Amino acid sequence: MGLAFGGGYMRLTSRAHTILFWAALTMAWLFTLPAMAHPLFGTRGLEFGGGPFKPGLANDVLYVIGWPPMIGVHVMIVLSVIGVVRYLREVHTRS
């Protein structure tokens, strides 16, 4: 919701906005879907091979699915900060 309300204030290129969109979408869905799947399979997905929790294929698949949103959230934060800083610089130079 923060991106929806603050996105108009970000000064990013068209390509950066596209990357921000896909990073946010990936982060939102790929954090949510495994969180719903873990209780169904009795896994945690915190470590490949299960670690101290129940090992199995479901755990390993859900662990691997967790990596794209981890990358996406970092890309999203960096692009958001860059966009807001550019906006603040633009506003500061106008006044």
pTM for the structure as a whole: 0.78
Q: What is the pLDDT along the chain (95 residues), one digit of tens a residue?
A: 788 888 888 999 999 999 999 999 999 988 888 888 888 888 877 777 777 777 888 888 888 888 999 999 999 999 999 999 999 999 998 87
Write the CB contacts of 56 (distance below 8 Å, at least 6 apart in sequence). Answer: 41, 43, 50
The dihedral sign for the CA sequence 10, 14, 20, 22: positive
Per-domain residue ranges of the chain? 15-94
pLDDT of residue 49: 79
